Amino acid sequence: MASICPATVIVAKNALDRLDSILDPYRHVVCVSDEIIRGEYGVRLEGVVKRGMTWLMVSDYQDGAFPRNEGDVILGFGGGRSLDVAKLLAVELGCDWVSIPTAASHDGIASDVASVSQDGYKYSKKCKRPIAVVADLSIMSRAPPRLKLAGTGDVLCKSSSLAEWRLGKENNGEYFDDSAYHVVESALASVMRNDSLEVLVKAQIDAGRAMCMVGSSRPCSGTEHAISHAMDRHSQELHGLQVAFATPLCLYHLDQAGYTKHKADDLIRIMRKRGLPVSLTEMSLAPDVFIDDIHHALEIMRKRGRYSVLGGIDDGRLSETIAKLY
C-alpha cells in the first residue's frame, strides 16, 4: 500500500513541531491558509518552517495567477478550502504539497481530489495526493465542534457509498477494488464504534488513501454525495451534515436491493446520538425540495456514468421513504 499513501502521516498532539524534517528537501515554502488560521497559528508555523515562506490567503487565490518559481513546496494549512487550493496550486506549479488540516470536517485531508465550484455546483477535480499529512490534534481539537460533527457525517455516509459502489460494479460494470473497499469499510467501522477525534482523523486519512488507490472518489462518494451537491444550490449547510442526512434514504433502498450491511434505522440512531441532524425540520428542508434535490442528484450520477440506487424509484415511493425516515 505504501506507493499510494502519503509518505508520511503524523496524527498526534503537537504534530506541527515535526514538520521541519518533512521540509528538509525544500528551499522555499508557499503556505495556503486563511486570515483566522494565520492570525492564530502563523507565528508558530513560521517558527517551525525555518526557511523562506510566502503566505497565500485562499480569498486571494486565482487560477493561474500565482507566480511560478515562488516556492518548491506547498502547505495547505486550514480547513477544506485551504486544502483544496493547496491541491490545485500544487498541480498548477508542479510542486509537492503537505496537508496540515486544522479541522476534521471532511475526508479530503489526505485525498488527491479537490472540491471545485462551477456554475453554482461543486464537483470533484482530480489533483495530486499530499506527500505528507500532519494532523496536529492539539490544533484540530480547538476547531468548532460542528466541524467535527460534519467530519463524522462524511465518514458515516460511507455505509451508503460503499454498498452502492458494489452494486454499481454488478449492475453497471463499474471499476471496483476490493482492498480500497476494505480500507474504507474498516475506517467506517472504527468511527461507528468510537467518537474520538484521533479515530475520526485516521478514518478520514484512510478514506483519502482509498480514493488515491482507486483513482476516483467512488468508494467514498455515491448518491448521498450527489444529493449534497444538489442541496448546495439552495443551502449553505456543511458538506458532512448534508451527505450524512441523505445517507439513510440511500441505505433504505440499498437494503431493499439486499446490498447493505447497515440498516437505515441503525444509522439514524448513531447519527442522533452523535448530534447529527436527522429530520427535515433540523435541515430546514421541505419534502418537495428534497425530492427535487434527488432528481438533480440522479442527473449528476448519470452524467458521471455512476449507478444510483435511487434510479428508477418514482416520486411516490421516494415520498413514502422520506415520510418514514425523516
Indicate the residue among 108 and 168 with the shorter CB distance to Zn ion.
108
Query: Considering the complex, what minimum distance in angstroms separates the CB of residue 106 from Zn ion?
Result: 6
Query: Considering the complex, what minimum distance in angstroms separates the CB of residue 240 from Zn ion?
Result: 7
Reference 243, options 321, 177, 159; nearest CA is: 159
Backbone angles phi, psi at 60, to 5 degrees: -95, -5
Indicate the residue among 49 and 86 with the shorter CB distance to Zn ion.
86
Indicate the residue among 154 and 232 with the shorter CB distance to Zn ion.
154
Query: Considering the complex, what minimum distance in angstroms separates the CB of residue 71 from Zn ion?
Result: 29
Indicate the residue among 19 and 217 with the shorter CB distance to Zn ion.
217
Indicate the residue among 30 and 243 with the shorter CB distance to Zn ion.
243
Residue 96 found at the interface with Zn ion (CB under 5 A) = no
Query: Considering the complex, what minimum distance in angstroms separates the CB of residue 237 from Zn ion?
Result: 13
What are 125's strand-pairing partners?
114
Indicate the residue among 136 and 154 with the shorter CB distance to Zn ion.
154
Select the span of 32-40, 129-137, 151-159, 166-174 touching Zn ion (CB under 5 A): 151-159
Q: How far apart are CA 149 and CA 60, in angstroms?
A: 28
Q: Residue 12 class from Cβ within 10 Å (0-12 exposed, 13-18 middle, 19+ buried)?
A: middle
Indicate the residue among 154 and 206 with the shorter CB distance to Zn ion.
154
DSSP single-letter state for residue 67:
P
Residue 164 found at the interface with Zn ion (CB under 5 A) = no
Residue 232 found at the interface with Zn ion (CB under 5 A) = no
* Binds Zn ion by CB under 5 A, chosen from 154, 164, 185, 206: 154
Query: Considering the complex, what minimum distance in angstroms separates the CB of residue 27 from Zn ion?
Result: 35
Binders in 23-42 for Zn ion, by CB under 5 A: none
Q: How far apart are CA 87 and CA 22, in angstroms?
A: 18
Helix (H) / strand (E) element for 28: namely strand 28-33
Q: Are 11 and 202 in contact (CB under 8 A)?
A: yes
Reference 310, options 242, 215, 227, 190; nearest CA is: 227
Q: How many residues bind Zn ion (CB under 5 A)?
A: 1
Select the span of 45-53, 97-105, 147-155, 295-303 touching Zn ion (CB under 5 A): 147-155
Q: How far apart are CA 262 and CA 163, in angstroms?
A: 9
Q: Are 23 and 147 in contact (CB under 8 A)?
A: no
Backbone angles phi, psi at 122, to 5 degrees: -100, 140
Residue ranges in contact with Zn ion by CB under 5 A: 154
